[in-house]
Structures are given as C-alpha cells and as structure tokens.
C-alpha cells in the first residue's frame, strides 16, 4: 500500500516492485532547457524503472566522434549550439527508436526539439503502436541553468554527469563509476549555452504547446531543487499519468 506521508522515492526504495508496477511500460518525453537536469533525472528514472533511455544528444555525439562524414556535419551545428537540421536528426533518431525493445517503457530525452520532429515522431510511434503517455517538463530560472551547465563535467565513456561544485566526483576529474577522465563539453560554455537557451524558447517551447493541444499530459516539474526532490516530483507525476491512463482504459 502506498503511504502518502512518505516521499515516493523512499517508498520505492522500500518496495521497488510496487512503484515500478505503476510506471512499468511508461513512454515519456523528457523536455526542458539545457541545464534543467534532463541527463541526471534520466539516469535516476532508468535506474529505478529500467525503461529504455534514448538521448538524441548522446546518439549524435557518438556519431560525431566516429569520424564519419555525417559526424563532421554534425560537429559544425553542435559546437555552435545550433540544432541539427530536422531531416538529419529525424532519420537518425527514428531509426534508433525502431531498433529498441521498448516493452519496459521509453524515456526520450532531447527529442523532439521542433514541431516537425514531434509530428514525425507521432507518425512513427503510431505505426509501432507505441503512443506517448506524457511529457515530463523540467524548468528552472535562466541563471540557475547557466551556472549548472558551465560547471558540468561528463564522463565520455559511461555518460555519468557531475558538477564541479554541487556534485563533484570523489577523485578530481575522474568518473566514480568507470575511472575515465571527465570532459567539459565544447558546447557548455556560457556563450553557447545562451544560444542554446534562446533556441529552446524559439524552437522547442512550441513543441510543448503541440503536445498540450494533442491532449498529451504535461507533467510540469520545478527543477530548481535538489536532484532527489526533482526525481521524486518526476516519479509522482509519471505515476499519476499512468494511473489516469489505466483508469481511462477501464472506465
Ligand atoms: P543535448 O545533449 O540534448 O543538449 O544535445 C546536444 C546538441 O545536439 C544540441 O545542442 C544540438 O546541436 C544537437 N541535438 C540534440 N538533439 C537534437 C534534436 N532533437 N534536434 C536537433 N539537434 C539536436
């Protein structure tokens, strides 16, 4: 039985199967400006629920560092903080989604970022019979986003995310999980981050409206809080969406 006096994370640690039961198979799009904490929240949700995590940024970075011709094209856009053109990104990401086993649920992180991408994603997921359950929207004030991103360090091998002030690794600049030297992303400088935040307002915020109008549930989470609090709010929001979906099916 769910004890409403206890934080949901505590409950799920005490009885993981119960919380997982409510969110198993959830297909969620994670949205938010750069620095809202999408990467850290994804890691925690995936650890807890075992859903498949698909980060468009990670997939594009892997292609970029492969040395391919496509990788060189991606580098130009990514290092400048610009969006990769829709026709390129849609092809890469939809191909990745089709090859996944999403029976345990899906967490889409960083895709879609434009309304054109959202429409193409809807078409592809409809063909696969895997509609989206909800959009998890993280947000925080711009100064908070900037501070978070410019201090961010990432493990290039396992993808774990650190912050030089708020979440440093145990050994200076070395990943706690796999011992690899951490990197500061080329697009995590203040100037590039400002450009990425502007692009978010211009290109990605209309995607939220698109989903709202399509009747997809939007779970808004204030991400100006500790990671534990943000994850707790996110889990509760996803749980509510899945419960209302189940009720809708049975009523
Ligand atoms: P992220 O790791 O999600 O911040 O993405 C890093 C960079 O990859 C972005 O600044 C874009 O250049 C590119 N990117 C990632 N996802 C997309 C997308 N859905 N559409 C276009 N560009 C993207």
User: What is the band of 60 on the pLDDT scale with cuts at 50, 70, 90?
Assistant: very high
pLDDT of 40 > 70? The answer is yes
8 A C-beta contact, residue 136 and residue 233: no
CA of 99 to the centre of ligand 1 (A): 20
Concerning whether 113 is annotated as a catalytic residue, the answer is: yes
Helices 16-23/38-49 angle, 10° precision? 110
Which tokens sit at 68?
């391919």
**Domain residues for 180?**
25-244
pLDDT of 13 > 50? The answer is no
In this structure, the residues whose C-beta lies within 6 A of any atom of ligand 1 are 34, 56-57, 60, 77-78, 81-84, 89, 110-113, 117, 187, 196
Q: 166 in a domain, yes or no?
A: yes
Q: 250 in a domain, yes or no?
A: no
User: Would you state the pLDDT for residue 9?
Assistant: 33
Give the active site residue among 27, 38, 61, 233.
Answer: 38
Beta pairing, strands 134-139 & 27-31: parallel
**Cα gap 80→227, rounded to integer Å:** 28
Q: Which of 12-21, 73-82, 153-162, 198-207 has the lowest mean pLDDT?
A: 12-21
CATH number at residue 129: 3.40.50.300
User: Would you state the pLDDT for residue 251?
Assistant: 61
What is the atom index within ligand 1 of the atom nearest the CA of 111?
19
8 A C-beta contact, residue 118 and residue 31: no
**Cα gap 58→220, rounded to integer Å:** 24
How many domains does the chain divide into? Answer: 1
8 A C-beta contact, residue 97 and residue 60: no
Q: 219 in a domain, yes or no?
A: yes
Beta pairing, strands 161-163 & 152-154: antiparallel
pLDDT of 233 > 80? The answer is yes
Residue with CA closest to ligand 1 atom 14: 57
What is the atom index within ligand 1 of the atom nearest the CA of 112?
19
Among 29, 43, 60, 77, the mutation site with the greatest number of ligand 1 atoms within 8 A of its Cβ is 60
Among 40, 88, 113, 124, the mutation site with the greatest number of ligand 1 atoms within 8 A of its Cβ is 113
Q: If we measure between CA atoms, which residue out of 36, 86, 13, 67 comes closest to residue 235?
A: 13
Q: 60 in a domain, yes or no?
A: yes
- Who has greater pLDDT, 190 or 16? 190
| Average of per-residue pLDDT across 175-183 | 97
User: Would you state the pLDDT for residue 23?
Assistant: 61
Q: 4 in a domain, yes or no?
A: no
pLDDT of 19 > 50? The answer is no
Q: 207 in a domain, yes or no?
A: yes
User: What is the band of 22 on the pLDDT scale with cuts at 50, 70, 90?
Assistant: low
Q: 13 in a domain, yes or no?
A: no
CA of 211 to the centre of ligand 1 (A): 19
Concerning whether 148 is annotated as a catalytic residue, the answer is: no
What is the atom index within ligand 1 of the atom nearest the CA of 199?
10
User: Would you state the pLDDT for residue 71?
Assistant: 95
Residue with CA closest to ligand 1 atom 12: 78
Q: 182 in a domain, yes or no?
A: yes
**Cα gap 194→9, rounded to integer Å:** 33
Say which residues have a Cβ less than 8 Å from residue 221's Cβ, sequence separation at least 6: 136, 137, 138, 139, 230, 233, 234, 237
What is the atom index within ligand 1 of the atom nearest the CA of 55?
3
User: Would you state the pLDDT for residue 48?
Assistant: 82
pTM of the shown model: 0.82
Concerning whether 194 is annotated as a catalytic residue, the answer is: no
Residue with CA closest to ligand 1 atom 11: 83
Concerning whether 48 is annotated as a catalytic residue, the answer is: no
φ, ψ for residue 35 (rounded to 5)?
A: 95, -5
User: Would you state the pLDDT for residue 43?
Assistant: 87
């Amino acid at each position: 039985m769910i004890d409403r006096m206890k934080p949901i994370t505590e409950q799920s640690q005490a009885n993981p199967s119960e919380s997982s039961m409510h969110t198993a198979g959830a297909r969620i799009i994670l949205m938010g400006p750069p620095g809202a904490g999408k990467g850290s929240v994804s890691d925690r949700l995936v650890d807890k629920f075992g859903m498949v995590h698909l980060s468009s940024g990670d997939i594009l970075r892997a292609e970029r560092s492969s040395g391919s011709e496509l990788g060189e094209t991606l580098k130009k856009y990514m290092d400048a903080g610009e969006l990769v053109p829709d026709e390129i990104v849609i092809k890469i990401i939809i191909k990745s989604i089709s090859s996944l086993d999403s029976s345990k649920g899906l967490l889409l992180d960083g895709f879609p970022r434009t309304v054109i991408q959202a429409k193409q994603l809807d078409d592809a997921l409809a063909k696969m019979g895997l509609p989206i359950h909800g959009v998890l929207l993280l947000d925080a004030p711009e100064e908070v986003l900037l501070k978070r991103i410019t201090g961010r360090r990432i493990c290039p091998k396992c993808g774990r995310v650190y912050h030089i002030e708020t979440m440093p690794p145990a050994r200076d600049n070395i990943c706690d999980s796999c011992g690899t030297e951490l990197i500061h992303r080329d697009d995590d400088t203040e100037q590039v981050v400002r450009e990425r935040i502007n692009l978010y307002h211009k290109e990605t915020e209309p995607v939220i409206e698109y989903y709202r109008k399509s009747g997809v549930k939007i779970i808004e989470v204030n991400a100006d809080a500790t990671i534990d609090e943000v994850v707790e709010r996110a889990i509760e929001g996803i749980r509510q969406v899945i419960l209302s979906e189940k009720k809708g099916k049975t009523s």
